[in-house]
Structure 1
Amino acid sequence: MCPERQTPPRQQARPRPHAARGSRGFTLLEVIVIVIVSGLLAALVVNLMGTQLLRSSNPSTIAADAGDAETAMEAVVAFYTTNVNNNTATALDAVKGEYPASNSTASHVTINDVASWDSSGIRALIVTATVGKTSYTTLLTQARTNALDNATNF
């Protein structure tokens, strides 16, 4: 038999101190950098979102103004239609009397009287209903297109 060979015992590798410390979490410097970067990103997002939040009411205001202007115009046209069906000669004067410029209830409605629209002498009113930045304009004439036209009812 052979004599046993003796080998020196292996030394186990010791963990390096910095490896053990690094495996526990972030260093203070890393945490500070993360907080600063997060703060800058949050400030940027708040700045961009703030202007959008201030402007978010614009579409609803525009829609409300359009609805109010349309309602005012429909009231004028309905009143005109009723009067033109009854008497075409006085329909425009009735509209001008109902919606004068100084009437506070119809402050959205502006009426321009065109004395003579063409060589035939037919009068016309240009009616504009404006609320906010939304305007609707229509032309109301003294007579229907043809005397045989049926009366229009709303």
Structure 2
Amino acid sequence: MSGSRGFTLLELIITVVLVGLLAAMFVPVMGTQLTRSSDPVGRSVGEAQALSDLEAVLREYVLYLNTDTNPAGVLAHMASTYAGNSSVSLSWIKFDAATRNETGGTSSDNDGLKVTAKASGGFSYSMLLTNERNATSYDPVNY
């Protein structure tokens, strides 16, 4: 019969055996991935917490700039507020104009304050706070 349609029994058996072999190889690999699937969830939670910590620092920074009578002291205020905080680290930085590199600074000789929030899983987020506003006569800062 030259016009027959469908598969023969032999073709179906071979297809089923091949699918079974592929599944037998795929399931062990997938099983190890399923046991590791909680790590990405934990990392996501850690990253969200780090971003939340940075947002809290930025909120405090903007609030101080807009309401305090001495905006020139905002970096010193931020350094003292977050000193000893376990989730947020602050470091004074100075930029070397010749090499265009960041170098260590002190509270009296600085270009800014680098804020770093570390998340579980080795991720970290950083932002740079500067002391550009030094008088209360400027318009409020909005972000």
Which whole-Å CA distance do the structure 2 matches of 1:45 and 1:118 have between them? Answer: 55
Q: Between Structure 1 and Structure 2, how many residues are aligned?
A: 111
Which whole-Å CA distance do the structure 1 matches of 2:22 and 2:82 have between them? Answer: 56
Structure 1 SS opposite 2:72 = coil
Deviation at 1:145, TM superposition (A): 9.3
What TM-score does the superposition give when structure 1 sets the normalisation length?
0.58
- Structure 2 counterpart of 1:131, from 115, 119, 129: 119
What TM-score does the superposition give when structure 2 sets the normalisation length?
0.62
Task: Report if aligned partners of 2:91, 2:114 keep a CA contact under 8 Å in 1.
Answer: yes
Q: Which runs of 5+ in 2 are unaligned?
A: 1-16, 98-108
Q: 1:141 aligned to 2:130? A: yes
CA RMSD of aligned residues (A): 3.0
Structure 2 SS opposite 1:47 = helix
Query: AA paired with 2:129?
Result: L
Structure 2 SS opposite 1:71 = helix
What pairs with 1:12-31 in structure 2 (closer than 5 Å)?
A: none
Counting aligned pairs with the same residue, the percent is 34
What pairs with 1:57-72 in structure 2 (closer than 5 Å)?
A: 57-72=38-53
- Structure 2 counterpart of 1:50, from 31, 56, 63: 31
Report the structure number with the largest CA radius of gyration: 1
User: For residues 47-102 of structure 1, what are the alpha-carbon distances to aligned partners after superposition, in whole Å with 9 as ceiling and x for unaligned?
Assistant: 212211122123212221111010000111111111222222111111111111xx
Q: Which runs of 5+ in 1 are unaligned?
A: 1-33
Which whole-Å CA distance do the structure 2 matches of 1:79 and 1:130 have between them? Answer: 19
Task: Report if aligned partners of 1:68, 1:131 keep a CA contact under 8 Å in 2.
Answer: yes
Any runs of at least 4 consecutive aligned residues in structure 1 with deviations exceeding 6 A, and if so which? Answer: 145-148
